[in-house]
Chains A and B, each alone.
Chain A
Amino acid sequence: MNQLDSTILIRVRDLHFTRGDRVIFSGVDLDIPAGGVTAILGPSGTGKTTLLRLIGGQLLPDRGTIEVDGINVHQLRTAGLYALRKRMGMLFQSGALFTDLTVFENVAFPLHEHTDLPESVIHALVLLKLQAVGLRGAREMMPSELSGGMARRVALARAIALDPDMVMYDEPFAGQDPISMGVLVSLIRRLNDAMGLTSIIVTHDVPEACAIADNIYLVSGGRVVEGGTPTALAASESAWVRQFMDGLADGPVPFHYPARDYRADMLGIETG
């Protein structure tokens, strides 16, 4: 048990979170093992991005705990939280590159902010990171000149600039053409293994997630519906898992948004 414990990097227990009247999470338990790629899958609007923000300490849960490497994220004061965040990289869906800085300056940003390294060392480090994502030649470009896939790769280079322990990916595959998608999929896996990272991917792209993840959690309706290896999930009998993994239009998640009776609605009959 103890040995198993030591390999868990992120431990989420009984997580509750509401936004306004909407319940996002009601009792989520997750274990994210160190050194692997864990995918968190779920339909749009289930709060997958919110989960990453909770792990990063940008949001406070209503109840429950999130521990990163044994540290309770939400009991940290600002300085402690910032120290922890230096060990986390996060790739936002939009890339979140600074539009007034070049590609090079974007990747150098965390190094300039957090280290006193001489400029020549920073230069070398940035080129290393850009080489790793294949964009060393694009260093003088502005973010507005990059394609969506390139922007995401630059953001990835920036996320690993400080050599973090873990990287969180927010919908890394959304809106990518097949080539960029393939590049990103292999990049996430390669970086994870080469740098000894722990990767968390939040996504709704099932085939890509199955291709690279060691573990998958399916989240829906504020809870973890099922978790396991991609093969275990592919063999799951659960109707909900089948619907999601196979992309069926109707099933436990109904095709229709809850509405009044169709006939009554069309005829304009007022029903209570």
Chain B
Amino acid sequence: MINPLQMLGQRALDSLARLGRSALFSVRVAASVGPALMRPGLILSQIYSVGVLSLPIIVVAGLFVGMVLGLQGYTTLVDFGAEESLGSAVALTLVRELGPVVTGLLYAGRAGSALTAEIGLMKATEQLSGMEMMAVDPHRRVMAPRFLAGWLAMPLLACIFTAVGILGGYFIGVGLLGVDDGAFWSQMQASVDLREDVINGVLVKSIAFGLVANVIAIFEGNDAVPTSEGVSRATTRSVVNTSLAILGLDFVLTALMFGDL
């Protein structure tokens, strides 16, 4: 009788301890951001590995998501004779929601998992310990540049995803299904507001998701049990937690931004 109860308590305590560790870790990384900014070379090479190397998946996924939106939007709108609104439907969906959210989820799978595995393996192979013994702070040398690079890369990736998605919708809507070219763009221009939709939607959301995704990915790597099993668990946890956090946060942000519209 007491055992399941004990297990539950243990789990709760473990989760709380992890939460505490992640908070402490975030503070240490945040404190290392300043010194890390002094060495842009380190950040640039990380932007290449988390940002540039994520481009193919972002572009391909953006294109397909946009094409699907074009197709689905058209079949719904054409019943009401409102297919000219396709441009604004595709753009608003992407700019407000799918752009940042899908980018965040893809980022967690492509770059976040790599970050976690890399840092976890550095820990397992004593590279982080070795760095400490060489009087080099891994928070400054390893964590902070990766965090900054990922945080910077996310909004850029989200913008690229959104732009490519809109093009995908355009190819299907205008190129294939015969929506009027001028109407597609002018409707989009009329309904998408720079501050309300673009800045609030793509930018603010992707900056928030980038913060969460990179903190989780780097924390999980640093917190991994230094064995192969530990690193694999940490990688899974990183992707799952990031995805859930992004979806949850998206709801909160959407409610705050568009709740009273």
Contact = CB atoms under 8 A, between A and B. Distances in A.
Interface of A: 53, 56, 58, 78, 82-83, 85-86, 88, 90, 92-94, 96-99, 109-110, 113-114, 155, 158, 162
B125 A99 contact: yes
Interface of B: 125-127, 129-130, 132-137, 141
B130 A96 contact: yes
A113 B129 contact: no
A12 B123 CA distance: 28
Contacts of B141: 113
Contacts of A53: 129
A85 B130 contact: no
B135 A85 contact: yes
7 contacts: A85-B134, A86-B135, A92-B129, A96-B126, A96-B127, A97-B127, A99-B127
B103 to A, nearest CB: 26
Contacts of A58: 129, 132-133
A98 B127 contact: yes
A47 to B, nearest CB: 16
Given A53-B129, A85-B134, A88-B133, 20 more contacts: A56-B133, A82-B135, A82-B137, A85-B132, A85-B135, A90-B133, A92-B126, A92-B129, A94-B126, A96-B125, A96-B129, A97-B127, A98-B127, A99-B125, A109-B134, A110-B134, A113-B136, A113-B141, A155-B130, A158-B134
A86 B126 CA distance: 18
Nearest to B126: A96
A162 B134 CA distance: 9
Contacts of A82: 135, 137
A155 B127 CA distance: 11
A21 to B, nearest CB: 15
Contacts of A90: 130, 133
Contacts of A114: 135-136
A146 B125 CA distance: 15
Nearest to A92: B126
B149 to A, nearest CB: 15
Nearest to A98: B127
A155 B135 CA distance: 15
Contacts of A93: 126
B64 to A, nearest CB: 33
A158 to B, nearest CB: 8
A33 to B, nearest CB: 22
Nearest to A161: B134
B126 A85 contact: no
A92 B126 CA distance: 8
Contacts of B130: 90, 92, 96, 155
What are the nearest 9 A-B pairs in CB distance? Answer: A96-B130, A96-B126, A82-B135, A85-B135, A90-B133, A92-B126, A86-B135, A110-B134, A113-B136
